[in-house]
Chains A and B, each alone.
Chain A
């Protein structure tokens, strides 16, 4: 079957990767004057990528575990060995499919979002970024991977900065960490290439796996290089503070993509490169069967989850809050996949895809609110549910999923994460994970209450719901979130089927249920119970007595006149300092662990070093210069001779 339709596979693969580059460059150069058309082309390009994904799915060996190579048309480089090639692996495919679906929905949103008042002009770069996106997931050799990774880096920098000064500063923080990661990754990659003698990623992984027992330190060092790169890209401790700046300052629709898709690249990298090395043939210290390195990784994940939650609780800005929520969720994903078991990786992948959708939905809903109101700080909003019900519902459904409450998809994936930790008896790790996960309810509800519930300010009394494409996009996101909650098998079956190819035993699940370690749950039933109770309540509401409509303030004040107490409408909404006592309690802990201060300090010292070095070039006296040169030459000569 492999050779049955190589033509379609070839076209599909090339189309998925190369076409977006071409469309993006075309868009950038030719379509400069027609910005709306650029967004249309972005949508079309992503749609084509989805078709490519579909054709690959139909005609490829999806699930049988065989990967196929497609040589590229790039001329081979004698100094570097073989020509670059792409590889169709199951893992890469599901990441590609997931990211393409989410991006397609976002692109529908962007079509309407980027009107004259809100246009950001980032469509061509984003199109190119989608090509790099596919390239990362389908790369078979290190060069395709590197090319895609680096192109992803600089295009995302330019998009996040999108011509504004404060956005540029946020983007630069992100990009510097990304460059540090890239440099570290280059070291790891070239150690692998020189050791395995080949450019293929699989060969390097095999090379490193084979070194266990003989050169443990080299393997650990190399995987550390990779881990630094993937941690920097996925915002894991200690690199966890950049999303609050970058995700917040990016264009609103791109924030959805950043938090939804881009932050997962590190997760993909870890599963594809680092985890297999620690699987077969591992010889070294282990904690309850988990290699020590991975256990430490898991702890980093858990710390990230806790810190993300704590910082999110403090935020007043809705985008920063959700950015920290992303950090927290990534921490949970890392904790699950560090167990390096089928259940752990399945849990991580399930939560990854769920997060893609529900975080994408949350950011789209926030973008809708910002589109209509222009505000990002939550205490200035309120009562949006009355004017923008669809955005409200999207936000509600998605935060239910984010909090891990049934019947939404987040419940199933978080449940699996805990099961994965239990399987390896990592109970002490599970405790902070629980804390982070349940603590998320605090900030998620704050977002809901402060933005959508409470008083509607007079300023926004006349705003409308968002235009149709944006509403449609949010509807689809909601629908997928609910679908994933009722039928977990829709995501888990594809995930399960790639495991044999990865050398893992499949987990037991079906369309409606998942088998864990302590028990199994039948999610469709749980969902049905929740929906049933919802309908009962709804029914009671409908048959209840006639209701009287009162003004909002009336219900709170019970007849008192709050103006006497100096309260205004805005203060009444009580969005400011929502969790002040809690913030005061955790402040010392956060100050102690803040990486932000450390990085700023490093940046500051580098700047001072730069100034010192520059002063060398400003030597005014030519005589001093001559003397210096003579001295240097004398030192070298005598040093060499003696």
Chain B
């Protein structure tokens, strides 16, 4: 009985150590997942956020993109557009943030595929964006390409994907 208890305790301890290791040294997949979740949280603006904080948010969101990043989107009722470089993305983000009283961004059903060099990754997900409460909600399949630059996972390309051809 004592031996079984010791064995159980040893297993629990091993499990805890493993968990601690994954927290301290996350795998590249986990780091990318965390980065994408963090981008959604950063792009979310609760109602009543003051303009200064909104402006600050733009800068924080831009930091997720590489200097030569490109965003390509083709949306129903909007058409196809491409934003190239941080300046164009900053301008678009500032316009989007200013135009909504609140904004909720969520990336769901996220799958990460790491490149063979483990320094690049492709992320597929479904973006759910709600503006002004739940009045305007859009759901869109998306694909991101990320690259590890100076220890940070940065988005080099983001594009909308047509679920229906």
A and B: interacting chains: no
